[in-house]
Amino acid sequence: MHGYRGKILRINLTDLSYKLEELNHAEAMKYVGGRGFGSKIMFDEVDPTIDPFDAANKVIIATGPLTGTPTPAGGRYMVVTKSPLTGTIASSNSGGYWGAEMKFAGYDVMILEGKAEKPTSIFIEDDKIEFRDASALWGKTTIETTNELMKEAPEKAKVLCIGPAGENLSRIAAVMNDLNRAAGRSGVGAVVGSKNLKAIVIKGTSKPTVADPDALKEVVKKGRGQIKDNGVTGAGLPTYGTNVLVNIINEAGVFPTKNFQETYFDKAEEVSGETMSEKFLIKRESCFACPIACGRYTKADDIETGGPEYESVWAFSAACGVSDMKAAIKANYWANEMGMDTISAGVTVSTAMELYEKGHIKDDELNGLGLKFGDGDSMVEWIKKLGRRDGALAGKMAEGAYRLADAYGHPELAMTVKKQELPAYDPRGIQGQGLQYATSNRGGCHVRGYLISPEILGLPEKLDRLEIKGKPQWAKIFQDLTAFIDSSGLCLFTSFALSPDDYADMFSAVTGEKHTAENILEAGDRIWNLERVWNLKAGIDPSQDKLPKRLMEDPIPSGPSKGHLSRLSEMLPLYYQERGWDEKGIPTPEKLKALGVPA
């Protein structure tokens, strides 16, 4: 079995036991790995109607067949569970080195079941698995936790952990690894926290085999060349990191500002990738086997931190009306320390700022802190407080933007889809991306079908961002390809430079089974439909394929995209048709049968 290690590690936290199971090769090939295979395990083993914090909910940590191989940026893993934020199936992706180390230890998948009686850490060194009392670590930040665990760990071991946000069941909590990398979205860290699991330390000493080393060498050489020659992956991302997007998105007039009330930030240059590189950058960082090295390591006053990435900079700057890069860096640091999704954390604070601006949150709830747009110092303090649920208002924030706004009787002020906070692109001026937001299986998300690539960056071809013709087809293609990439173990950023044919060639060389562009897109379609069916069973019906009222009814007030609204209602029926679903957005029996997806 090439690419795969052939083993599933099933861990029962209730009685601190484990067992090994053989990977079902046919099922693995059908759902690829990572996101797809993890979702299939959820489909088979977890009741979609379960409360996310019930001990019977499971956490599946899944690598892909290309994780830990020489393929470019092949270091990803997925955390799959039922989301406490959205109620959808969650699969949150992370890079760094932890995923590759899991493959080196000999495992394709870990299934975490039950709930430990007290805080627990798991130490894994190849086939040696040990449970340890983590009570002394409970309450510690992610960096404190990692540093303490590394004192006990084998040399060069990798640490995955949660912070105080996960322990306190914040619905926007992340799973952190390698200090600054995050499986960030959908609140997966809270589910881990609900199981009293603080950390998994892992060390492996063997690598997955590949079927055709010579063929792989050639396709990797070709892929790395394409990545180097591409303007985004070979120049923009290595030079300025993901934050290279700030000026690009702002100049298009789709850089959401003050909780999406505006879309052009007149101080964007102060928080741009260029400014970060000039004034705050210490070094570049990369993930396993990555030729792009888009990661940043920055310093602001006495704080040094990995990142912040573009989405994090936006969430802690324009979204909150803040133009201070130091404040954005500090907020990012504390979000990582608390173990929180930076997008959700920043958007939740910006929602609170608008609630305060409109008089719904009162001064006596602030405990002396500010909550005005533009107040960077207070923003940083709120990030610390909501990570620990420190105070009544911070406790409401820890529930995420939708529940916060709903608690004050104004859910329309939460810029969310399926209760997940939207990222850093205003869909009123990027029509296809708005369709992608609304139909994403895990709620508001940009990386389930990154239509910014053709609509803004012109890759693989330039599309008119304000036009809706053809966007349903593009959304489906990007969603299906992304589902495959997430399942393979590769980084999505490679898709700026690589084609479906390139991915098929890599998958073929590693596994020894012939794959084509058509069948990897079919695998993505299968995964997408499986997630859709699971969500329907969970009660997430097609009426939730929508955008916030503001984005549908309030035209962009000023800037380069002035006057535009999302035209989602025109695109959605065509998208359902493109997917082969019925007019209500339900996968038809014929569609599911053709893909081999259980109903």
Do 291 and 416 reside in the same domain of the chain?
A: yes
Encode pLDDT of 102-127 as tens digits.
999 999 999 999 999 999 999 999 99
Residue 225 belongs to a domain: no
| Distant-in-sequence, close-in-space partners of 380: CB < 8 Å, separation ≥ 6 | 327, 330, 331, 334
Residue 97 belongs to a domain: yes
Do 457 and 407 reside in the same domain of the chain?
A: no
Residue 67 belongs to a domain: yes
Instruction: Reduce the secondary structure of 547-567 to three states and give it as a string.
Output: CCHHHHHCCCCCCCCCCCCCC
Q: What is the average pLDDT across 441-464?
A: 96
Last-in-domain residue among 364, 398, 421: 421
Do 40 and 166 reside in the same domain of the chain?
A: yes
Which H or E run includes 28?
A: helix 25-31
Average model confidence (pLDDT) across the chain: 97
Encode pLDDT of 540-549 as tens digits.
999 999 999 9
Q: What is the average pLDDT across 126-143?
A: 98
pLDDT band, very low/low/confident/very high, at 56 (cuts 50, 70, 90) = very high
Residue 507 belongs to a domain: no
Do 397 and 461 reside in the same domain of the chain?
A: no
Do 364 and 485 reside in the same domain of the chain?
A: no
Residue 1, pLDDT score: 85
Do 164 and 38 reside in the same domain of the chain?
A: yes
Task: Say how many domains are in the chain.
Answer: 3
Residue 233 belongs to a domain: no
Residue 192, pLDDT score: 98
Do 403 and 470 reside in the same domain of the chain?
A: no
Distance of CA 155 to the CA centre of its chain: 29
Residue 426 belongs to a domain: no
Domain of residue 529, CATH code: 1.10.599.10
Encode pLDDT of 501-526 as tens digits.
999 999 999 999 999 999 999 999 99
Do 196 and 274 reside in the same domain of the chain?
A: no
Do 478 and 568 reside in the same domain of the chain?
A: yes
Domain that holds residue 314: 242-421
Q: Is the predicted pLDDT of residue 233 greater than 90, yes or no?
A: yes
Do 356 and 317 reside in the same domain of the chain?
A: yes
Residue 237 belongs to a domain: no
Domain of residue 118, CATH code: 3.60.9.10
Do 318 and 198 reside in the same domain of the chain?
A: no
Last-in-domain residue among 175, 203, 231: 203
Residue 355, pLDDT score: 98
Question: For residue 9, what are the CA distances in angstroms to 17, 29, 174, 214, 299?
Answer: 11, 18, 22, 31, 39
pLDDT band, very low/low/confident/very high, at 255 (cuts 50, 70, 90) = very high
Global pTM reads: 0.97
Residue 30 belongs to a domain: yes
Distance of CA 443 to the CA centre of its chain: 11
Do 131 and 73 reside in the same domain of the chain?
A: yes
